[in-house]
Structure formats: structure tokens, C-alpha cells
Amino acid sequence: MRREISQRWVLSFADLALLLLSFFVLMQAQVADRIKLAAGLREAFGGETGSSGAERHDPGTTLAAGALFEPGEAVFRAGQTERLRHIGADAARSGKRVLVASEGRDGANARLDAWELSAARTTAVARAIRGGGLPDTMIDIAIPPSRQDEPARGQRIAVRLLPGRN
């Protein structure tokens, strides 16, 4: 006598897989401010509460890329790297991570399109912070995708100190 095996578990497994996929799609869609997203998820699952987790990290500094760099280039203007090196040195001393996030974009030029220019400038800021003694593993870079139909209103680069990794 042969017993028939139930296949009901497949439906539950497929449901779980779709829920996980939806969760990761939601996380990627929230690329604008991952810190707020992470704080909201932490709070939803019973982690430390507070106003979006702002008490645990420095709100940081937002820098206008036009003031830091030569026009249309990813080359710093004279004297602009010292402040970034100090941020790296302070983070290294206190054991904190640094998030360097690009917001917006400048126009394209003959050498680089707008996204490439934004990426090169964001990376240059991270390298200057590394020059203060902070290792690469403690620097996170976020560069959201840009759309061609978005007007170029100027790039801003946010630099935030975050708690160190355990």
C-alpha cells in the first residue's frame, strides 16, 4: 500500500520566497535615504526606537560639489581636502564608519556624462577621507541611479559618521 505525499508545503515556500523578494525590492527602491529605511526597519522589529535613529549617528555634513571641485571636473579646488581628511582622522580615532552619499547631479561635459561626473566626485571625497587614516572597509559610498529626464540642479555630497562595525 502506497501513501500519497502532500505537496502543500510548496505553496508556503513560494509565498515565503515572494515575500523575501518583495522585501529586497522595497529596500532597493529606498536608495534615497538608507539610514532612515534601516532605522524604520529596526524600530518595526523591536530594535532601539527614536526619531529615525538619529541619536546613534552624526547627522553629518552636506557639501555642494560645485564649491569643492573645479567646474566640470572631479579635481578638488585648492585647500578643499583638509576638512575631509579631518573627518577621516576623527572617524578613525573614534572607530566610526563614514557614509559618503551623492545627491543630485551636475551637467555633463565633453569628457564625462552627468552620472560619471557625480560618481568620480563622490569617490574623490571618499579618497580624501581615507587620506585621514580611515581604512577602506570603514567607508561606504552610495550613488543612486540618475535618469536622463531629471534636470541637473547641482550635486551635493553628504558625509555622515555612523557607528562602527562590530
Q: Which residues pair with 160 in a beta bridge?
A: 99
Tens-of-pLDDT digits for all 166 residues of the chain? 566 777 888 888 999 999 999 988 877 775 556 666 677 777 777 765 554 444 444 567 888 888 888 888 888 988 888 989 999 999 999 999 999 988 887 776 667 777 788 888 999 999 999 999 999 889 999 887 766 666 667 888 889 888 876 5
Name the helix (H) or strand (E) containing 41: helix 34-44
**What are the cell numbers at 145?**
541611479
pLDDT at 154: 81
Contact 93, 138 (CB under 8 A): no
Contact 35, 53 (CB under 8 A): yes
How far is Cα 124 from Cα 69, in angstroms, rounded to an integer?
Answer: 10
Residue 100: strand, helix, or coil: strand
pLDDT at 93: 92
Grid-cell match 585648492, residue found: 78
pLDDT at 67: 87
How far is Cα 139 from Cα 133, in angstroms, rounded to an integer?
Answer: 11
Contact 39, 53 (CB under 8 A): yes
